[in-house]
């Protein structure tokens, strides 16, 4: 399941394996906090990769009690405070950023191994390819993405 305010991102998700996609403002009943019993459609594992406070808040509401929230997004700005609802739900919060650089490097090496082995298809995530002379444009695209942007790669 994917959640994104961008219609283009939701369409991209459907083309690349998501079985359901929703606008965060229009989540069906059962997908947020307060859902119970048979109507509870919250998830055991939620990956948050937005890097913005509203995305983090939505991700927190999507994880079920005793589930896991993996915060991959880099929250360097805004008011990303700890959500006490996660504590009350006994959610395990896994931060994608570790102060232990050796651990980070091992994780990155493993991810590169998975890419090399073909276990992860990154090609579907790369929507823009630029040469070294296009690095400035690549940064501009990250700051103000077009609707079809997911990730870019700089090639020599």
pLDDT in tens, 76-117: 776 667 788 899 999 999 887 777 888 888 888 988 898 889
Query: Pairing mode, if any, of strands 43-48 and 63-71?
Result: parallel
Nearest to 31 by CA among 23, 20, 43, 21: 43
Domains and CATH numbers, the chain: 2-97 (3.40.50.720)
pLDDT of residue 60: 93
pLDDT band per the 50, 70, 90 thresholds, residue 67:
very high
Q: In the prediction, which pLDDT does 78 show?
A: 65
Q: CA dihedral in degrees (114, 146, 9, 72; nearest 10)?
A: 50
pLDDT for the residue numbered 80: 66
- Segment 131-149, tens digit of pLDDT: 999 899 888 888 888 888 8
pLDDT at 27 over 70: yes
Distance CA 79, CA 101 (A): 25
CA dist 49 and 58 (Å) reads 11
pLDDT tens digits for range 31-55: 988 888 888 999 999 999 888 888 8
């Amino acid at each position: 399941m994917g959640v994104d305010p961008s219609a283009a991102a939701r369409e991209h998700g459907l083309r690349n394996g998501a079985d359901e996609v929703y606008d965060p403002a229009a989540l069906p009943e059962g997908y947020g906090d307060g859902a119970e019993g048979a109507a509870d459609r919250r998830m055991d594992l939620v990956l948050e990769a937005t890097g913005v406070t509203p995305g983090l808040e939505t991700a927190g509401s999507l994880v079920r009690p005793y589930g896991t929230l993996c915060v991959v997004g880099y929250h360097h700005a805004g008011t990303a405070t700890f959500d006490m609802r996660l504590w009350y739900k006994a959610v395990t919060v896994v931060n994608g950023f570790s102060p232990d650089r050796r651990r980070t490097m091992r994780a990155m090496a493993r991810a590169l191994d998975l890419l090399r082995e073909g276990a992860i298809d990154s090609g579907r995530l790369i929507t823009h390819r630029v040469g070294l002379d296009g690095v400035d444009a690549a940064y501009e695209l990250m700051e103000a993405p077009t609707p079809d942007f997911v990730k870019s790669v700089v090639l020599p």
